[in-house]
Amino acid sequence: MAVLSGILIDGLSYGMILFMVSVGLSVTMGLMRVINLAHGGFALLGGATAHWLTTNTDLGYYFSVILAVLATMIFAIAMEKIFYRKIYKFTELQQVLATIGITFLMIASVNFLLGSTILPIRSPEFFSSSVDLGFRTLPVHRIVVIIAGMAIALGLYILLDKTRFGIQLRAAVDNRNMASSLGINTARVYALSFALGAGLAAFGGILGAELLPIDAYYPLRYMVLFLVVVAVGGLGSIAGSFFAAIGLGIIDTAARYIVPEYGTIFFFIAMILVLLLRPQGLLGKK
């Protein structure tokens, strides 16, 4: 019983971290259909900026995080104008190559400027304290991540399904020519969506840093992890990513509780089984 509740609680909180770090990719790759291997790069830039701000200025954690996310989004808009506009039209493999190239440059830049050690983000003291749930304790930052993850999931649901912007985005992705002939400014919709994806990447990178610490190599180290979540969830579905992240988090955690010696194998076998049964992912469209 204790084991079961442990698996559920730790799995849920780990799953929420997986969701946070990959939701940005779910937007750029899932919705916009760009094989954006530079997703982790944007997370790295957000995390590195937050690191720099929290360790070198007196702005405080919250303000630093907001500033870092905004800075990443502005940078993303510039990147979109310079690089991604063309990337949209590339073949899938060319997209792989282009976004890998961008990732390399991001890694090299952070490494050059800040070195290759872990770049800690100074969070408020109480983040590292723990809350007693009666039968066990849970670190506060996990609770923060769970709440933030829920909020992001809900916010994205409203933004994409209930607002004009969401409708425009889906229209633009489905048929760009049709959308622009209907008067939708598709270039703007794409730029904003891309900035949204990058902003989420940055935010996820910062919040997830308690478990997946930021360092220059971050984008490549966790690339497979991000891709797994989006692939299992299904392209084009934020909800899919959400459930995939939670599910994978619980499975991975269960494996660590019960058979730690085969931890990674279980994770990947779970993924293989899901993808064999549902090649389009949990909630992906065929």
Partner 1 sequence: MKKTIKLMAGVGAISVMMASAAFADHTVKVGVIAPFSGPFAIWGKQFKEAVEVYVAQNGETAGGHTVEFIYKDSGGPNPSGTKSLAQELIIGEKVDYLGGLVFTPNALSVASLIDEAQIPTVIFNAATSSIVLQSEYFVRTSFSLWQVSVPMAEWAWEQGIKTVVISVTDYGPGNDAQVAFTTAFEALGGEVLDAIGMPLSTTDFAPFMQRIKDQSPDAVFAFLPAGPPTFAFVKSYNENGMKDAGITFLGTGETDETTLEALGDAAIGLTTAYHYSAAHVSDLNQAFTSKLDEMFPGSVANLASVGAYDGAHILYQMIAAVGSDRTKAVDVVRGYEWESPRGPVSLDPDTRHITQNVYIRRVAKDENGNLINEEFQTIEAVPDLGLL
Partner 2 sequence: MQETQIKPAENLAQTAAPARSRKFLIKLLIDLALIGVGIAAYFIFPDNLGFITRILIMIILVLSLDLVLGYAGVATLGHAALFGAGAYGAGLFAVYFSADPLLGLLVGAIVGAIIAFISGLFLMRAHGLTLLMLTIAVAQILQEIINKERAITGGSDGLLGIDMDPIFGIYAFDFFGKTGYLYALTVLVIVFFALKILVASPFGAMAKGIHESAPRMRAIGTPVYWRLVGIYTISGFIAGIAGAVSAQVTELVSLEAFGFALSAEAMVMLILGGLGRLYGAIIGTVIFMVVHHTAASIDPFNWLFVIGTMVLIVVYFVPEGFMGLPVKLRRWLRWQK
Q: Calculate the CA dihedral of residues 66, 67, 70, 72 and round it to 10 degrees.
A: -110
**Cα three-residue angle 243-158-249, rounded to 5 degrees:** 15
Q: Diameter of the chain by CA atoms? A: 60
CB 114 within 8 A of CB 99: no
User: Tell me, what DSSP letter sits at residue 163?
Assistant: S
Please report whether residue 223 would count as binding partner 1 according to CB under 8 A: no
How far is Cα 15 from Cα 251, in angstroms, rounded to an integer? Answer: 9
Of the residues 25, 98, 169, 254, which one makes contact with partner 2 according to CB under 8 A: 98
Helix (H, G, I), strand (E, B) or coil at 215: coil
Shortest distance (Å) from residue 29 CB to partner 2: 8
Considering the complex, state which of residue 205 and residue 234 has its C-beta at the smaller distance from partner 1: 205
Of the residues 12, 231, 246, 254, which one makes contact with partner 2 according to CB under 8 A: 231
The residues with which 131 forms a beta bridge, in sequence order, are: 138
Considering the complex, state which of residue 191 and residue 212 has its C-beta at the smaller distance from partner 1: 212
Nearest CA to 193 out of 151, 236, 224 is that of 236
How far is Cα 159 from Cα 88, in angstroms, rounded to an integer? Answer: 22
Please report whether residue 216 would count as binding partner 1 according to CB under 8 A: yes
Of the residues 57, 94, 116, 175, which one makes contact with partner 1 according to CB under 8 A: 116
Q: At what angle do helices 140-162 and 2-25 cross, to 10 degrees?
A: 50
Residues in CB range of 282: below 8 A, 6 or more apart: 232, 233, 234, 237, 240, 243, 244, 247, 274
> Judged by CB under 8 A, which stretch of 6-14, 56-64, 232-240, 274-282 contacts partner 1?
6-14
Considering the complex, state which of residue 140 and residue 239 has its C-beta at the smaller distance from partner 1: 140
Site map 242..261 versus partner 1, x via CB under 8 A: -------x--xx--xx--xx
Question: What Rg do the C-alpha atoms of the chain give, in angstroms?
Answer: 19
Considering the complex, state which of residue 7 and residue 73 has its C-beta at the smaller distance from partner 1: 7
Give CA separation, 180 vs 21, 237, 273, in Å.
32, 23, 40
Of the residues 75, 192, 281, 283, which one makes contact with partner 2 according to CB under 8 A: 281
Please report whether residue 113 would count as binding partner 2 according to CB under 8 A: no
> Judged by CB under 8 A, which stretch of 35-43, 128-136, 165-173, 276-284 contacts partner 1?
128-136
Of the residues 70, 143, 171, 275, which one makes contact with partner 2 according to CB under 8 A: 275
CB 194 within 8 A of CB 32: yes
Shortest distance (Å) from residue 101 CB to partner 2: 3
Please report whether residue 18 would count as binding partner 2 according to CB under 8 A: no
Phi-psi region of 32 (alpha: psi -120 to 50; beta: other; left: phi over 0): alpha
Size of the site for partner 1 (CB under 8 A): 43
Residues found near partner 1 in the complex (CB under 8 A) = 2, 6-7, 10, 13-14, 17, 111, 115-120, 122, 128-130, 136-137, 139, 141-142, 210-213, 215-217, 220-222, 225, 249, 252-253, 256-257, 260-261, 263-264
Residues forming the site for partner 2 (CB under 8 A) = 35, 83, 86, 90, 92-94, 96-98, 100-105, 107-109, 111-112, 220, 223-224, 227-228, 230-232, 235, 261-262, 264-265, 268-269, 271-272, 275-276, 279-281
